[in-house]
Amino acid sequence: MDQKVAIVTGASSGIGKQIAKNLYRNGMKVYALARRVYAMNELDDLGIHTMHLDVTDHDEIDRVVSQIVAQTGRIDVLVNNAGIGSFGSVEEMTLTEGEYEFKVNVFGLVKMIQAVLPVMRKQHSGRIVNMSSMAGKLGNMLLGSWYIGSKFAVEGISDSLRQELKPFGIDVAVIEPGAIQSEWKDGAMDRMMEASGSGPYAKLARRSAAFFAISYKFAAAPRVVARAVDRAVFSRRPKTRYAVGTGARPALLMKRILPDKCLDAFFEALNKYAQQVVNRETSQNR
């Protein structure tokens, strides 16, 4: 039997790198794709194939996927892990910044799916795993409208796609991480403070930064997400969704049972408390 082939985008660090390692250790031929090829030397050393890919470059996606198919003759798994978090007020973030967030998180994801589907349909088999977030169900992250909107889109696209591809033997699953140890948080907060760290939303920006600073002290390891991807890929009957990582399951449970304004009040109180903790820690360290 030919060795099964997996493609993982955004594989140069954190979650994506761990997903690539897990799939490789489970016997798959793995192609790890990212812009920062130099950061994937560790994967090369393991025997994982690494290639450059910018998911906003649709022509490059076609070239890379065609090259993989030419080498292997098949694609069994696509893990759409590439993503970016841009936080900041809607008023202050430019449309160009918002468009780029959707280019990476939504349109890049969809283009990857379009590129692999002809092969998967021909095989009458395949697994597509889309990396969403607890934010794909929970719109209560301060100054996160663009990011949250992109992840809500991933959730909706995945639901529709799951039904669309069922007749062709292709499964679609969504991963919904909570707080995970990665570079994502620092980049998201840096962009938020650049956009909204001064001006009318500065107070909310500081409060949001405090919430992330506290919550990410308890962040889960990337292997938690990688194991969820393993279940989505190797289970005979995969679930449609896997909520994993710090805070994901409790938050999504509250979303189901609490009225919207009660949930708003809960997260407002949580953000205020986080800021008090950060302020107290700052005062003690002076």
- Residue 108 identity (one-letter amino acid): G
Q: Give one DSSP letter per residue of 70-101, joined into a string.
A: HHHS---EEEE-------S-TTTS-HHHHHHH
Alpha-carbon gap, residue 119 to 137, rounded angstroms? 31
Exposed, middle or buried: residue 223 (CB in 10 Å: 0-12, 13-18, 19+)? middle
Which residues does 276 contact at the CB level (< 8 Å), separation at least 6? Answer: none
Residue among 24, 31, 147, 242 flagged as catalytic:
147
At residue 57, what are phi and psi to the nearest 5 degrees?
-100, 95
Active site residue 147: yes
Q: What is the CA radius of gyration of the chain?
A: 19
By annotation, the residues acting in catalysis are: 147
